[in-house]
A = this chain, B = another copy of it.
Amino acid sequence: MNAPPIPPDSPAPIGEAELAAAAPAGIQTPPPDLAEQVRRALAEDLGSGDLTAALIDAATLGRATVISRETAVLCGRPYVDRCFAMLDAAVTLDWKVNEGEIVRPDQILFEASGPARALLTGERTALNFLQLLSATATAARTYAALVRGTGCVVLDTRKTLPGLRTAQKYAVRVGGARNHRIGLYDAILIKENHIVAAGGIGAAVARARAVDAGAPVEVEVESLEELREAISAGADSALLDDFTLDRMREAVAINRAAARPLRLEASGGVRPESIRAIAETGVDYVSVGAITKNVRAVDLSMRFHWSDAT
């Protein structure tokens, strides 16, 4: 029978040095809805209030240390900062690791100090963001590392966790992969149905340009003949849907010989074991739904030090 999808621990498909080498250049900008995301996550946990925190005197101060229990790409610092800032401006965080850096088992990520109630109340929400976004960044970095040196770029997809689109897209960038379109509004992806409705690839692309002259237009193609039509139609890119490696190589050759080549994206069931061979066919992009639709939360732990408290 088939496997029920219970998420197991995974064997390491790649080493720490390879992960480090695949880091993105520069600092990634967190999304504009970050504060709203954090507010919402705090609200669903706090509801009418933290009953347990009320056991601690409001004047009590404390200190907390967060460690990683495994190797991962750290992502989510701005979410954690915002979380504690929203609870109590008197909380200060001392980060020991930069966003996007690789952390190892038992490594200290940050120390937090301030009102004990805020530290206790914010712990779970902060760690939930950090364990999720670090998981997404680590998955992105792993796939990026697997294709390093081929010139092929790893893209994410719209297979994201509902409500967490921008946060996961940010984690993908921190990981070192690149964002495909963010949503239905910033690019056009023409599929079979649109082609049929328009009466051909040329007509569909022309219609797309008429809808939005500025938006990138990609055509999903299922054959080399359709690829030739997409090239002729002047599409920006073509999505090679479930092509074999041989067909991908043919597609790359056809495209390179064209007067106006487009960008080629491979897609469909990409796995850690198969991604490098796909990248080596010469396609420009490979998109991986697993980066954002699956989560293997990074194991984190927060320890409280109350001896320091007054």
Contacts and interface: CB of A to CB of B under 8 A. Distances in A.
30 contacts: A4-B70, A4-B139, A4-B142, A6-B13, A6-B139, A7-B10, A8-B11, A37-B162, A37-B163, A38-B162, A45-B165, A45-B183, A46-B184, A47-B182, A47-B184, A51-B208, A51-B215, A52-B188, A52-B190, A52-B191, A52-B208, A55-B207, A60-B197, A128-B158, A132-B161, A161-B161, A164-B164, A196-B306, A197-B306, A294-B297
Contacts of A132: 161-162, 293
A189 interface: yes
A267 interface: no
Contacts of A165: 41, 44-45
B105 A2 contact: yes
Interface in A262-300: 272, 289-290, 293-298
Which 9 pairs of residues, A with B, have the shortest CB-CB distance? Answer: A47-B185, A7-B294, A41-B162, A5-B296, A293-B297, A50-B184, A2-B71, A3-B12, A295-B295
Contacts of A3: 9-12, 70-71
Given A55-B190, A162-B125, A162-B128, A4 B138 contact: yes
Interface in A95-140: 104-105, 116, 120-121, 124-125, 127-129, 131-132, 134-135, 138-139
